[in-house]
Amino acid sequence: MDKRVKKFKDGLQISYYEFSKDIVCVEVYQHGKNMGQFCSDVSYFEEWDETDLLQLTETHIKQVKNAKTPDNKNRKKIDQYEIEYYNHFDDMFCVNVYKDDTQIGAFCSDRYSFEEWMEEGALLSVIESQIQ
Question: Listing from the earlier edge strand, what are the strands of the sheet with 74-78?
Answer: 4-7, 12-18, 23-30, 33-41, 102-110, 92-99, 81-89, 74-78
Query: For residue range 3-52, what is the model confidence (pLDDT) as tens digits?
Result: 899 999 889 999 999 888 888 989 999 998 888 888 888 888 999 999 99
Measured CA to CA, the distance from residue 52 to residue 84 in angstroms comes to 29
H-helix or E-strand spanning residue 44: helix 42-47
Domain ranges of the chain: 4-66, 74-131
Measured CA to CA, the distance from residue 83 to residue 44 in angstroms comes to 26
* Averaged pLDDT for residues 105-124: 84
Query: For residue range 79-95, what is the model confidence (pLDDT) as tens digits?
Result: 999 998 887 666 778 88
Stated pTM of the model: 0.57
CB of 114 within 8 A of CB of 97? no
